[in-house]
């Protein structure tokens, strides 16, 4: 019998003695026969669960934005406007200004590289037409051919912008990106002379990511597409998914040997994110390092040290009494422990400290 069991029985004995002393006459009325032992005092208990236990390893990474890109000037001139860091630029909005003329953001994956006019064909034409249609300038078929109808739509767009209505699009007046961009940093100052290729801005996408450096001997912990939990700066939890795993091994930090060999892993944050989320900072990513499915588990606090070693639990029986049974423990994870015993089944209840 465990020490805890003895404590319970002793408490019950004290209760019987107190009743006998305080109400001895009452006992005599029933002929002096023994009273049944009182029910075990109710206590906090928890169900035995059949569940999946997962061990986790936490790695600290850097919170930031995905898709960093440099915006370079296409033609010579003077920089007359550029947005501040943190500004979000969307379809049809100016990205920067050269010689007083706006360079406008349009959506597409191929860069602007040539003049677009009536008769031009190619995927860059489709990008332009798709962006024009999204901006409300229609009247043409979105395809790879720059038609007269396309030129008419361009003139209406140019009129709205207050520039010469030529119906021709110069590559120096537009900049293509797959999605809205966020200005990370200014690369050139106002009034600075620009030449083709001069860096103007550094931009990113709006997608939030955490970048990790994972040791190569822990490579099995990361797989593309796997969901993870991220703790953001300030302690807020967020959902994430492993979106990229590097193929280049580098030596990171003070370790220059094999222990310091790491690969870059990118986690893309998913779901609803806090409105007041920090732009950058350390973030912790919880990776599953071990897993057991379909095991019986109880709260770790339910474990009792058994005489002679090992562990047991106090099984709460149907009549309210308790019975100590020995269990074999397995994985510890998330405040629970795997337990094995022929006397234990899913749905049973075990005592835990109140």
Q: For helices 148-161 and 123-134, give the axis angle rounded to 10 degrees.
A: 50
pLDDT at residue 180 in the model? 98
What's the pLDDT at 258?
Answer: 62
Which letter, b or e, does each residue of 54-81 get, where b requires 16 or more Cβ atoms within 10 Å of its Cβ? bebeebebebbbbeeeebbbbeebebbe
Q: Which of 257, 258, 254, 253 is nearest to 217 (CA)?
A: 258
* 324, two tokens: 């100590």
Q: Residue 265: its pLDDT value, please?
A: 98
**Within a 13 Å sphere around the CA of 33, how many CA atoms are in the beta-carbon half?**
5
Q: What is the pLDDT of residue 254?
A: 55
- Is residue 126 within 8 Å of residue 146, measured between CB atoms? no
How many of the other CB atoms lie within 10 Å of CB of 155?
Answer: 16
Q: Using DSSP bridges, classify how beta strands 101-107 and 174-177 pair: parallel, antiparallel or unpaired.
A: parallel
C-alpha 155/C-alpha 272 separation (Å) is 40
- State the pLDDT at residue 43: 65
> What pLDDT score does 29 carry?
34
For residue 75, give Cα distances in angstroms to 72, 84, 103, 157, 173.
9, 22, 11, 22, 9
Spell out the alpha helix ranges (H) of the chain. Answer: 3-22, 24-29, 123-134, 148-161
Q: How far apart are CA 287 and CA 54, in angstroms?
A: 10
Containing H/E element for 245? strand 237-245
Give pLDDT tens digits along the chain (354 positions).
444 443 333 334 433 333 333 334 333 333 344 444 444 445 689 999 999 999 999 999 999 999 999 999 999 999 999 999 999 999 999 999 999 999 999 999 999 999 999 999 999 999 999 999 999 999 999 999 999 999 999 999 999 999 999 999 999 999 999 999 999 999 999 999 999 999 999 999 999 999 999 999 999 999 999 999 999 999 999 999 999 999 999 886 555 556 679 999 999 999 999 988 999 999 999 999 999 999 999 999 999 999 999 999 999 998 889 999 999 999 999 899 999 999 999 999 999 987
Residue position matching structure tokens 């000037």: 73
Whats the size of the chain, residue-wise? 354
């Amino acid at each position: 019998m465990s020490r805890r069991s003895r404590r319970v029985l002793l408490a019950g004995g004290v209760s019987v003695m107190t009743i006998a002393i305080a109400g001895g006459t009452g006992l005599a009325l029933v002929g002096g026969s023994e009273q049944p032992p009182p029910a075990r005092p109710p206590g906090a208990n928890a169900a035995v669960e059949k569940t999946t236990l997962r061990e986790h390893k936490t790695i600290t990474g850097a919170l930031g934005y995905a898709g960093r890109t440099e915006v370079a000037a296409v033609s010579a001139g003077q920089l007359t406007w550029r947005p501040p860091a943190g500004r979000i630029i969307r379809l049809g909005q100016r990205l920067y200004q050269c010689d007083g003329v706006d360079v406008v953001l349009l959506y597409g994956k191929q860069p602007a590289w040539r003049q677009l006019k009536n008769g031009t064909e190619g995927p860059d034409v489709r990008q332009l037409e798709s962006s024009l249609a999204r901006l409300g300038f229609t009247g043409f078929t979105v395809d790879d051919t720059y038609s007269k109808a396309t030129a008419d739509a361009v003139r209406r767009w140019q009129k709205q912008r207050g520039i010469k209505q030529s119906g021709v699009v110069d590559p120096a007046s537009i900049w293509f990106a797959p999605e809205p961009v966020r200005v990370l940093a200014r690369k050139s100052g106002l009034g600075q002379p620009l030449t083709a290729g001069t860096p103007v801005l550094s931009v990113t996408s709006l997608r939030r990511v955490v970048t990790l450096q994972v040791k190569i001997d822990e490579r099995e912990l990361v797989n593309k597409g796997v969901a993870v939990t991220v703790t953001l700066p300030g302690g807020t939890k967020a959902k994430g998914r492993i979106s990229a795993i590097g193929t280049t091994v580098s030596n990171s930090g003070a370790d220059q040997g094999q222990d310091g060999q790491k690969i870059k892993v990118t986690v893309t944050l998913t779901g609803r994110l806090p409105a007041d989320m920090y732009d950058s900072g350390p973030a912790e990513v919880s990776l599953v390092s071990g897993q057991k499915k379909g095991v019986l588990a109880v709260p770790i606090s339910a474990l009792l040290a058994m005489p002679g070693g090992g562990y047991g639990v106090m099984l709460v029986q149907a009549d309210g009494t308790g019975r100590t049974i020995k269990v074999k423990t397995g994985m510890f994870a998330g405040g629970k422990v795997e337990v094995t015993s022929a006397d234990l089944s899913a749905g049973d209840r075990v005592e835990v400290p109140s």
